[in-house]
Structure 1
Amino acid sequence: MWDNELKIAKRAIYLAKHELNNNIEYEILSLEGKDIKLSADKISEQVIVEYLSRNSDYSILSEEIGESCNFDTNGPYWIIDPVDGTMNLYRGFPMNCISIALWNGEEPILGVILDLNNDFLYYGIIGEGAFCNQKQIFVSSVNKKNQAILATGFPTYFFYDDKILNEFINNIKDFKKIRMIGSAALSLCYVASGVFDLYKEDNVMLWDVAAGIAIVNAAGGWYEIREAQNDKWGRKVICGKKCLLSD
């Protein structure tokens, strides 16, 4: 049902990657707070937004420009993270990607994520399976917390006070291993492909996780998403193997 939209998202991602490859010297646009903005974010976003706007009638939510004109969540809309893992890109840590999702209200429809370092393309449509470079992927079979790998992180808007940090430690201490790679989207790709078992992060922005949530769900995973207090588009997200929450 959504095959055409999937093709559009894939094409937009590859066009953005091509443009990024032609602009390998990135200008720092902002270092405000714990965030960083590079010209790469703007370059990628412009290509994607222009292509999606020409080839579909859906509203757009994107990290840099925010909501498109006449933005409406009462129907399908695109969610774009033009570069997820911008600090990683800036420092040469090979964990960054481009992420495009299609949602309807608070429900994912599909997601496409391109790992910029090895050309792994992750994608999935809810109810139709998830894939990495045309090979179907599935969430892991691990069902015990003490054997599971949790992916998490400290997002830009994380509140670093003692109470919240203690709660954070209590929530993660029973897992076998913890991984923080600086890219929510790629973390979710690794959950979808069974490399990691669960992803949990508070105060993360919707565009960071929208495509990944769709891909994990298409790969047989579960998700819970709630509004956070940091921003209109801030979210609290748990995604992966539901059984690991009650173990």
Structure 2
Amino acid sequence: MKKLVLLIILLTGCTKDDVLNLKQEGYFTLDASFLSSVAGKYELPECSSEEPISIEYTLRDTGGLLWVKSSEVAVNEDNVNIFDPITLPVGDYVVEDIALVSENGNITHRVPNSESIGFDFSVFSDISTPFDAQIFPETETSVSVELMCYSPAELDLSGTFEGNTKVTDLTTLYFLLPEGGCATRCTIVIDGKLTFDEDVTGEEIHGAPIVKEFELLVITAWSGDDELASVEFTEYNPDGTATDEDVVQFDYQCL
């Protein structure tokens, strides 16, 4: 099972030398495989067998200066321990990226980015990059973030916050567009929230990440802005094993 990575970040202001101590405490389980490569700006990485050796933070201050800081991490059984706080001047920042990096320099996991191209994984995360961080002297702020990798063939991620349990299981919904090529777009709405809206064509089987637990999922095939057909689920692939029967097929044929 591939696991959601979790990290607790403590932002602590300091008056002595007017810098911020960024202290990290967190863990993730290593039942998952990790990322090998990333395409595009801050896109969620695909899982691979690489293990992280460091965590990297990318921040931008109000003057437009980009700050890139990193700390070493150590993998110990199912946990990752993050060492050495980083320091930043007190002020306002935009946190643009937080990622785990392997020995080969590849991103293994990262916090989902709401501005990345392609599927928006930030819908599965309470906090996504970019986000604002205000740093004041003698102040401590606790921020919880989730780091993820994505397995496009079979997605199964879960995790737990320290002190505040939250489990988010993801899987892949497979669908086949109506024959004839009239469908050009597909959307998925989960419990009233749009989680997938992509231009898709062709008669091959497509996949989209979804949460495992929901009350109502509606997948719809479109031709431009015209709805062709939709299918509703109250649960999808409950046994977790993808078969031909789990491929969504729309009850519609192109004219």
TM-score range relative to shorter protein: under 0.3
TM-score by length of 2: 0.27
- Between structure 1 and structure 2, the one with the greater Rg is 2
Bigger helix share:
1
TM-score by length of 1: 0.27
